[in-house]
């Protein structure tokens, strides 16, 4: 058996082994992420029950505020866990919006201690804070998407430059240059 065939066989075995190792790692990461997500949700539920129990010692608006804060903590924890689990820009944005809604509910409950114009102003301020938080989350999502698009455009442009440089070569040198460019720019 000649050296080239032997090297090709070894390379094929190594690539196959690396592919299996990478897919095993990906599955392990997914299983680990799923377990972390489930554990965090269960922890949030348990923490909520403990916080909710503490609210029973109060009455009136302070009790309502305590319950709203306990629910808000639970919603925050679950939203963050889901965003980390899904690990997407949309999931992170949705989590921020859910947290803004939870904060609004707490603020609105606190406003119920007031009456008249003071209460109306308090609710309007809470609503404005929620709208601002949601707008920021939406804007950040668009910024991330724009930066991703810009990065992709830059990579494409640099890849085209590298391929153009390869056109000056011929034969094996050109093939090697093109292969290097494809590897370098993930094409």
Kindly report, residue by residue over 69-78, the tens digit of the pLDDT: 999 999 999 9
Q: How far is CA 61 from CA 2, 49, 95, 109, 178, in A?
A: 85, 19, 28, 8, 70
Query: How many domains is the chain partitioned into structurally?
Result: 1
How would residue 11 be classed by pLDDT, with cut points 50, 70 and 90?
A: very low
Q: Are 40 and 77 in contact (CB under 8 A)?
A: yes
CA distance 171 to 127: 67
In this prediction, residue 2 carries a pLDDT of: 46
For residue 26, what pLDDT band results from cuts at 50, 70 and 90?
Answer: very low
Q: What pTM did the predictor assign?
A: 0.67
Is the distance from CB of 103 to CB of 132 less than 8 angstroms? Answer: no
The torsion region of residue 159 among left (phi > 0), alpha (psi -120 to 50) and beta comes to alpha
Q: What is the mean pLDDT of residues 56-79?
A: 94
Query: Average model confidence (pLDDT) for the chain?
Result: 85
pLDDT for residue 31: 84
Task: Inform me whether the pLDDT recorded for 37 exceeds 80.
Answer: yes
Average pLDDT over residues 110-121: 94
Range of the domain at 65: 3-184
């Amino acid at each position: 058996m000649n050296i080239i065939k032997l090297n090709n066989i070894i390379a094929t075995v190594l690539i196959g082994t690396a592919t299996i190792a990478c897919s095993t790692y990906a599955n392990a990461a997914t299983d680990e992420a799923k377990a972390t997500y489930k554990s965090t949700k269960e922890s949030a539920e348990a923490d909520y029950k403990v916080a909710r129990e503490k609210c029973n010692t109060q009455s009136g608006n302070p009790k309502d505020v305590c319950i709203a804060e306990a629910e808000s903590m639970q919603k925050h924890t679950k939203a963050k866990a889901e965003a980390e689990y899904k690990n997407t820009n949309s999931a992170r944005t949705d989590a921020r919006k859910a947290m803004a809604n939870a904060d609004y509910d707490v603020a609105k409950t606190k406003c119920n201690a007031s009456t008249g114009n003071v209460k109306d102003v308090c609710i309007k301020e809470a609503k404005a804070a929620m709208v601002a938080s949601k707008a920021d989350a939406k804007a950040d999502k668009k910024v991330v998407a724009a930066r991703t698009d810009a990065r992709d455009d830059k990579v494409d442009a640099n890849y085209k430059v590298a391929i153009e440089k390869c056109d000056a070569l011929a034969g094996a040198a050109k093939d090697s240059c093109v292969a290097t460019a494809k590897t370098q720019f993930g094409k």
